[in-house]
Amino acid sequence: MNKRSLQWELVSWELFYDMARQLAFMIHNDNYQPDIIIAIARGGYTPARILSDYLGVMDMTSFKVKHYHSTQKEEIAVIQHPLAADVSGQKILLVDDVSDTGDTFEVAIDHINACTNPTEVRSAVLHHKTISRYKPDYYTREVKEWHWITYPWAIMEDMTAFIKKMQPAPSSADQVAQKLRAEHGIEAPTQILSDAFELSGLKK
């Protein structure tokens, strides 16, 4: 049996929507009605939009915390594009896709409190990894064994990054499929693999 070099989970659009729906009802049933939803860019954009729809929250904004680029982690999390809205006196729902190390949320909440004065800040994610120093108020999946998670809005970014790192370099999408299956246990859709291989620049 081949030893997998990295545990990797691909989240489908269907699974994502089901998780976002569960998250919305968790917040609703907890009687928390935010005045505004703040998405942490970029991973929080899509979950935040679904939550705004389910919770009936019309106001949304965002700011960007730079921490991960593709599959490479930087040493620290920093605010790249700051919060532009004044959310003083408002109840905030801060949304991201995953709580990984906790750095992103720590920096994000410090940033909100430093530049404005909200009434309350609660946080929500799809996946919470138990290694994280920060535990969100709401999450739908608890991840006890660390693995890489790719959401459907980031699949080209992550997939092309993995393809470029493959040694020896694959010569076809079929070779990519075989390597993903053997090393990561991933069965990716054929069209996704074909698109990612072409975008990786390795196709001749």
174 and 186 fall within a common domain: yes
Amino acid at the residue 90? Q
Is 80 exceeded by the pLDDT of residue 89? Answer: yes
Q: Does some domain include residue 204?
A: no
Q: Residue 114 sits in which domain range?
A: 9-150
* DSSP helix/strand/coil, 113: helix
Quickly list DSSP for 31-80.
T---SEEEEEETTTHHHHHHHHHHHT---EEEEEEEEEETTEEEEEEEEE
Give the residue with greater pLDDT, 110 vs 77: 110
**Orientation angle between helical segments 155-165 and 190-199, nearest 10 degrees:** 60
Q: Does some domain include residue 3?
A: no
Report the percentage of the chain scoring pLDDT > 70: 91
Is 80 exceeded by the pLDDT of residue 61? Answer: yes
- CB neighbour list of residue 152: distance below 8 Å, 6 or more residues apart: 11, 12, 13, 16
State the CATH number of the domain containing residue 84.
3.40.50.2020
- pLDDT class of 117 with cuts at 50, 70, 90: very high
103 and 195 fall within a common domain: no
**Mean pLDDT, residues 160-164:** 85
Judge contact between 158 and 150, C-beta under 8 A. yes
Q: Does some domain include residue 25?
A: yes
**Final residue before a domain boundary, out of 117, 135, 150:** 150
92 and 189 fall within a common domain: no
Please report, for the chain, how many H helices and E strands are present, in that order.
6, 9
* DSSP helix/strand/coil, 132: coil
How many CB atoms are located within 10 Å of the residue 67 CB?
20
Give tens-digit pLDDT for 134-156.
999 999 999 998 888 999 999 99
Judge contact between 138 and 123, C-beta under 8 A. yes
103 and 161 fall within a common domain: no
Give tens-digit pLDDT for 2-43.
445 567 888 999 999 999 999 999 999 999 999 999 999 999
Q: What's the total number of domains in the chain?
A: 2
Q: Does some domain include residue 97?
A: yes
The pLDDT mean for the chain works out to: 89
Is 90 exceeded by the pLDDT of residue 198? Answer: no
CA-to-CA separations, 146 to 3, 69, 81, 138, 197, in angstroms, rounded: 16, 18, 28, 19, 26
- pLDDT class of 1 with cuts at 50, 70, 90: very low
Write down the residue that tokens 């569960």 correspond to.
Answer: 22
